[in-house]
Chain A
């Protein structure tokens, strides 16, 4: 029943618990994984982050970019568990997702590992500060 997660950029052991919906999470105090849909307000989770091991963020269509904001908000609030992008996740979005704090990917269609590797290493630097540890260009310029 536990599927293999195709792509994970974390060292710790994967939390394979099924994710509950945001609505169900309100009443299920023992759930450790939750799934956020695009129209839902991620900030409802902020009071409970310390007991969550994994948050799945759904991308029903890759063109729907709400999940990028959801991920960054969770990281800004200090969430250190696994953030998994689920659904219509394509190799050309992976680098931006990584920057917004995602560290696991469960795409509908499997990804070519070489393409993923290339995508993650394509850009030598970044222009903005985001949810990853990369130093923005403006900071490199004034070190």
Chain B
């Protein structure tokens, strides 16, 4: 994985000093809260319902054991002993004191980590495929391109006061495991006639107006990636709406101009910028690629021993094909039955650090589904790994099943939320564990947001739940048919909402319709697409 050189380290150290100064000026009253807000936001510090929340960047979701240990230390030293992994492959701490914020950033900088641009109206942490560099279906490891763009977007002088936040995702497979087309810019590295280049999808997003990004350029040569990104951003910075915060994302600009006109403007700006020398030389991309070489993975030739039936279940659900024979990527579930999706204790983080060092070439990945991946595990080591995970409460065999719920922090923490998300997730997880239907249902992606900002990706759930405020009480709308994968689609609302107990019943009712109607080999999503909304509505409301 990438390692800082003297320049990267100096930049992060300077940022810590700058933020320390800004915090001191705020605490001394030299900065008003209004003036301080965008500055703290650009360092990932939010003011939430009960305390400050700090979001730490995990670039493209990749980190090593030493870094995970520091995340554990921070959880213990400055928070309440746990952290929360997010849908953007980051971690956030929910109980931070302003006085500690600069010290935390200093601790992070010692292990090449930071919270730069994890919030604010700027280019956010760049996300990627959690199986990057391990999956058998990639044309390349997408992370070097993500790292190139990370550096380009860090402290970008022109694009730090954009109309709204800006999220970029880079993948390199036809299979989309990162919700690429639901980002402001989604980049897919592709191969054409033996040459690698980048597809640019621009103007996707969730939030209150979900949109699937259209393709605006089918092939950007690798030595023009930064320049093309710069052109996309400049058109947005100049013409994105600033009159209404809810219409300020680039998806609205692309939608209002039309993809064709937006593309025309980008191409014009791009032609101009090609002469401005903003592109790093290919040698820089090569330098970065050097950090992402495959570890030496000799084929041990051994398959996992499936004789333990519980282990076999985990193996079937929580491992993913690796490009090297004899290896898999293992998914560590942070979704125990009845647990808080994405939460991990300091002790669990340390276990993950140990296991990464022991079994996965010192590498971990955070998934946008709020789980963790050990990317390169020898099949022969899987049984021992599984036992260790079970011991730490992280061996639940539920990847992509009903219990693998994405949920935003909701009204338990978030100042924007209208309704709680976590207790709903907990109840559904418990219900389907108790009634034994989870295994029968197979792949079913359930996603819960506590308000229309859609941090819990409800638009992209096979089943989505949206919490709203209805005359002062929490009310939950049910949505069906979304997908964040390569067959991207947006979920539709079934009808009137439910109260907090009713929504759990409603999810079970929808699941039962699927179990009744499905044909051989169909997932929930496939059945919904075949039979449509009507049978579900009938079961839910008649």
Contacts and interface: CB of A to CB of B under 8 A. Distances in A.
A65 B159 CA distance: 7
B158 A72 contact: yes
B234 A69 contact: yes
Given A90-B35, A124-B10, A65 B237 contact: yes
Nearest to A38: B242
A128 B156 contact: yes
Interface in B1-60: 5, 7-8, 10-11, 14-15, 17-18, 21-22, 35, 38-39
Contact of B160 (A38, A70, A72, A96): A96
A63 interface: yes
Nearest to B287: A141
A100 interface: yes
Contact of A128 (B10, B14, B157, B281): B157
B509 interface: no
Nearest to A136: B280
A68 B122 CA distance: 13
Interface residues of B, number: 40
B1 to A, nearest CB: 18
Nearest to A98: B157
Contact of B157 (A62, A63, A68, A141): A68
Interface in B133-164: 151-152, 154-163
Nearest to B42: A92
Contact of A76 (B18, B38, B272, B280): B272
Contacts of B436: none
B501 interface: no
A129 B10 contact: no
B435 to A, nearest CB: 50
- Of B152, B238, B272, B283, the most chain A CB neighbours within 10 A belong to B238
A129 B92 CA distance: 32
- Of B10, B157, B276, the most chain A CB neighbours within 10 A belong to B157
A47 to B, nearest CB: 15
Contact of B158 (A69, A90, A92, A126): A69
Interface in A119-133: 122-130
Interface in A64-84: 64-66, 68-70, 72, 76
Contact of A127 (B155, B242, B272, B281): B155
A14 interface: no
B161 A128 contact: no
B160 A65 contact: yes
- Of B5, B162, B242, the most chain A CB neighbours within 10 A belong to B242
A108 to B, nearest CB: 12
A88 to B, nearest CB: 10
Nearest to A95: B157
A139 B277 CA distance: 11
- Of A38, A64, A68, A130, the most chain B CB neighbours within 10 A belong to A68
B516 to A, nearest CB: 53
Given A136-B280, A138-B151, A62 B161 contact: yes
A92 B22 CA distance: 9
Nearest to B7: A137
B327 to A, nearest CB: 33
A93 B158 CA distance: 11
Interface string A17-59: 0000000000000000000001000000000000000000000
B238 A69 contact: yes
A63 B161 contact: yes
A126 B14 CA distance: 11
A126 B158 CA distance: 13
Contacts of A64: 161, 242
A99 to B, nearest CB: 4
A138 B11 contact: no
B278 interface: yes
A9 interface: no
B245 to A, nearest CB: 10
B21 A129 contact: no
B224 interface: no
B284 interface: yes
23 contacts: A63-B161, A64-B242, A65-B158, A65-B159, A65-B163, A68-B158, A68-B159, A68-B161, A70-B238, A76-B276, A92-B35, A93-B161, A96-B157, A97-B157, A99-B157, A122-B14, A125-B7, A126-B157, A127-B152, A127-B154, A130-B158, A137-B151, A142-B281
Given A62-B161, A65-B121, A65-B158, 8 more contacts: A38-B242, A64-B161, A93-B161, A96-B155, A100-B157, A124-B14, A128-B155, A130-B157
Rank and list the top 10 A-B pairs by shortest CB-CB distance, nearest first: A65-B161, A99-B157, A138-B280, A96-B157, A138-B284, A137-B7, A68-B158, A123-B14, A127-B151, A124-B10
Interface of B: 5, 7-8, 10-11, 14-15, 17-18, 21-22, 35, 38-39, 121, 151-152, 154-163, 234, 237-238, 242, 272, 276-278, 280-281, 283-284, 287
Interface of A: 38, 62-66, 68-70, 72, 76, 90, 92-93, 95-97, 99-100, 118, 122-130, 136-142
